[in-house]
Chains A and B, each alone.
Chain A
Amino acid sequence: MSQEHEKPVTLGVAPGLNDLVDQSSWQKIQTYFIGLVLSAILTVAAFYFVQSKTIWGPSIPVALTVLAVAQVGVHLAFFLHLTTGPDNVNNSLALAFGTLVVALVICGTLWIMYNMDQNMPIMAHMNAKTHSLDQHQGGTPGITKPVAAVVEASVAGRVRSISCDVGMRVTKGQICAVIEVPELDSEHVKAEKLQIEAMARIQQEEIALS
């Protein structure tokens, strides 16, 4: 046993391999078979709980999650032969780290997205709020701080660009859309034509002078 202490590096056992050297093939198959039976029981239980009405409806997702976690445990123990033994430290530490990252990704996503969902009213809510606000503001003008605002065109014309969209956050005073007024547009074109004519005339005069 002194050899045990002389070992410079412990690599441990490869993941997926059984560390019991002297097991017969039959014993190894038995391990896989136990895993199969346990997984089958857990799977059947999960499908049964969904189909039947034996457990209280809102608790079904919790029950299903428990069954799934148990089945993953069965797979790790009986199919991947993961143990808590010292030769499996590397494998189980890697697994623990993987589980941590998975938990961070899933819980973090759900947390952030729930928070955004709470702070971002969807269109249906916004319309409802605008209507109630219109009536409310009619009674006490200038006192209430608007919780929603209707943006209306200040001039008649054609929309040249829109820089807002449904669900987007905007700050107060931000430009949401630019409207072109066709009358002003045509005046601009006319003025440009006059300018070109004047330039041409100047050129003619210059040629005549020289």
Chain B
Amino acid sequence: MTVVNDGLSTNLTPVEHHHERHDDAHHGAGAKLVIVGYGFWIFLLSDIVMFSAFFAAHAVLQDATDGGPKGSELLSIRNVAYETACLLLSSFTCGLILVGAEARRMAWTQAALVATGLLGLTFLVLEVREFSELISQGAGPQRSAFLSSFFALVGCHGAHVSVGLLWLGTMMAQLFVKGFRDDILRRLLCFNLFWHMLDIVWVAVFTLVYLVGDAR
């Protein structure tokens, strides 16, 4: 290892190692990338804390069906399997966005963004379809406390995915117009963290809400 690794230098950071002093590096774009990324990481963790409250509510209320339908009678395992596949694949393509950005390849990065967006959109369509089917069966959020907590938790995740898709579209436009600027790269990193976090939350959702709910 001949590369001086000051802990900041990755291909996302501007080339400023070797000849620069470490003090300078901490005030440069590399340090900003670490600080912005870390701040966003803290935000995501607080977002997960918020999700944990929804999970706790759902865990408490999952038997409060008020004589209405139970989770195992309502939820389609096949549908949630498709949703999970979409989100997992999109997590992979989201990683490719970052690799493409580090290699400064515009076409590659944009293609990965498109793939991530399409998979996210498919996930959202499947979820909206599931919700509308439930509501048309009379199993809407007002039917029972269980269904309220179900729609709140899964809907909250879906709202995050929707916001993520808006962000993704914005990033495609910004990247196209402004190119691989430092601030664009920082935003791509934050988007990457956000999208991976959504998949981690989804792992908990499909396990605890759908699969454990089905096994009960």
Among the stretches B44-52, B129-137, B156-164, B170-178, the one at the interface with A is B44-52
Residue from the list B1, B26, B52, B216 in contact with A106, Cβ < 8 A: B52
Q: Is the CB of B200 within 8 A of A13?
A: no
For residue B191, which residue of chain A has the nearest CB?
A: A16
Taken together as a complex, chains A and B put the C-alpha atoms of A65 and B193 apart, in Å, by 23
Contact B203 A72, beta carbon cutoff 8 Å? yes
Choose the segment among A18-26, A133-141, A144-152 that binds chain B (4+ C-beta atoms closer than 8 Å).
A18-26
What chain A residues lie within 8 Å of B214 (beta carbons)? 50
How long is the Cα–Cα vector from A90 to B8 in the complex, in angstroms? 13
Contact status B46-A64, CB under 8 Å: no
CA distance A206 to B42 in the complex (A): 83
Chain B interface residues (CB < 8 Å from chain A): 1, 3-12, 22-23, 26, 31, 33-38, 40-42, 45-46, 48-49, 52-53, 55-57, 59-60, 77, 81, 84-85, 88-89, 91-92, 94-96, 98-100, 102-103, 189, 192-193, 196, 199-200, 203-204, 206-208, 211-212, 214-216
| Selected contact of B204 from candidates A15, A39, A68, A113, CB within 8 Å | A68
**Can you list 10 A-B contacts (CB < 8 A)?**
A17-B12, A17-B33, A40-B88, A46-B207, A50-B214, A75-B200, A79-B92, A79-B199, A98-B49, A101-B49
CB contacts (< 8 Å) of A22 on chain B: these are 1, 3
- Besides A32-B99, A75-B203, 12 more A-B contacts (Cβ < 8 Å) are A15-B41, A19-B10, A32-B92, A43-B88, A57-B215, A67-B207, A79-B92, A95-B45, A102-B52, A106-B52, A108-B56, A110-B56
Q: Tell whether A208 is near chain B: CB-to-CB under 8 Å.
A: no
Say yes or no: A3 contacts B22, CB within 8 Å: yes
Of A21, A46, A47, the contact of B10 (CB 8 Å cutoff): A21
- B189 near A16 with CB under 8 A, answer yes
Q: Which residue of B lies closest to A87 (CB)?
A: B7
C-alpha gap A33/B91 in the complex (Å): 10
> Contact: A61 with B56, CB < 8 Å?
no
List chain B residues, Cβ under 8 A from A60. Answer: 212, 215
